[in-house]
Amino acid sequence: MFAHIAYDHEILNGKPHIAGTRLSIEFILELFASGATKGEVQKAYPQLTSDAIEEALKYAAQSVKNEILLDVKVAA
């Protein structure tokens, strides 16, 4: 489903990242959250294609969409 997203326990301890790089999806999101534009990200990391960046954002959106929150009360 995600051609540009890879997992490898030997790379970034298994964090999802852009295949062929050591750039995690988390790091890419942090760049955008700090105000970077797509152009700025691509200039700083030319190994990132537009497709890879778009896929990173879609991956993150899907991850949040599938997130399950549990509200558990633990007695002390």
Q: Return the pLDDT at 67.
A: 82
Question: Per-domain residue ranges for the chain?
Answer: 5-65
CATH number of 5-65: 1.10.10.10
pLDDT tens-digit profile of 20-38?
999 999 999 999 999 999 9
The distance in angstroms from the start CA to the end CA of the chain is 44
Per the CB < 8 A criterion, the answer to whether 19 and 6 are in contact is yes
**Residue 6 in 3-state DSSP?**
strand
**The token pair that represents 64 in the structure block:** 């949040």
Q: How many helices (H) and strands (E) does the chain have?
A: 3, 2
Mean per-residue pLDDT, 65-76: 86
Mean per-residue pLDDT, 45-59: 96
Q: Return the pLDDT at 69.
A: 83
